[in-house]
């Protein structure tokens, strides 16, 4: 079994989209996954990339994906990596690919002088939590994650703009 991890490149879009969809199925929300290959092309390989991606291959077959982007720590004054998605296909789990992908991103941080690697995990995903604990990750229990999207995002954007105009 030959394993390699490399940055994604044009031509990988179908494998990336497939694994993102498989992740949505794993997380029990496939209906929420609407990403397209053209969006992945623009987001990863366009003139202004919004994210980055690494792919693990086993014997030339895409086995895992890590999609990430840079964030910035105002306290440290340097960038970090936020791991948006890490997914290992079921038949390739329990062979160290998840740990290897995290190690690859940790090296990316160290090589670029980034101060941290961070991510979120669903509270029911005990195998992932065990991996994250094993590599030295620590839950940020004092922080509560928030998100606004869909109609709520539009509603929030609308009044904010009109409220400024009224001042």
Sign of the CA dihedral 14, 17, 20, 25? negative
As a whole number of angstroms, the distance between CA 125 and CA 105 comes to 21
21 is a catalytic site residue: no
53 in Cβ contact with 68 (< 8 Å): yes
As a whole number of angstroms, the distance between CA 12 and CA 27 comes to 23
As a whole number of angstroms, the distance between CA 13 and CA 17 comes to 6
82 in Cβ contact with 68 (< 8 Å): yes
Identified catalytic residue from 21, 82, 132, 146: 132
**Which residues are catalytic, by number?**
132
């Amino acid at each position: 079994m030959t394993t390699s991890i490399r940055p994604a490149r044009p031509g990988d879009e179908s494998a990336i989209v497939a694994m993102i969809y498989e992740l949505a199925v794993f997380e029990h929300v496939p209906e929420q996954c609407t990403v397209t290959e053209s969006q992945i092309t623009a987001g990863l390989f366009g003139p202004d990339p919004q994210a980055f991606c690494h792919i693990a291959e086993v014997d030339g077959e895409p086995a895992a994906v890590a999609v990430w982007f840079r964030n910035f720590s105002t306290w440290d004054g340097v960038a970090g990596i936020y791991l948006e998605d890490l997914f290992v296909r079921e038949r390739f789990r329990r062979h160290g690919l998840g740990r290897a992908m995290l190690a690859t991103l940790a090296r990316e941080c160290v090589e670029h002088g980034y101060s941290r690697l961070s991510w979120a995990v669903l509270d029911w995903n005990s195998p992932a939590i065990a991996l994250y604990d094993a590599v030295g990750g620590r839950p940020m229990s004092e922080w509560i994650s928030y998100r606004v999207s869909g109609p709520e995002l539009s509603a929030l954007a609308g009044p904010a703009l009109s409220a400024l105009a009224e001042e």
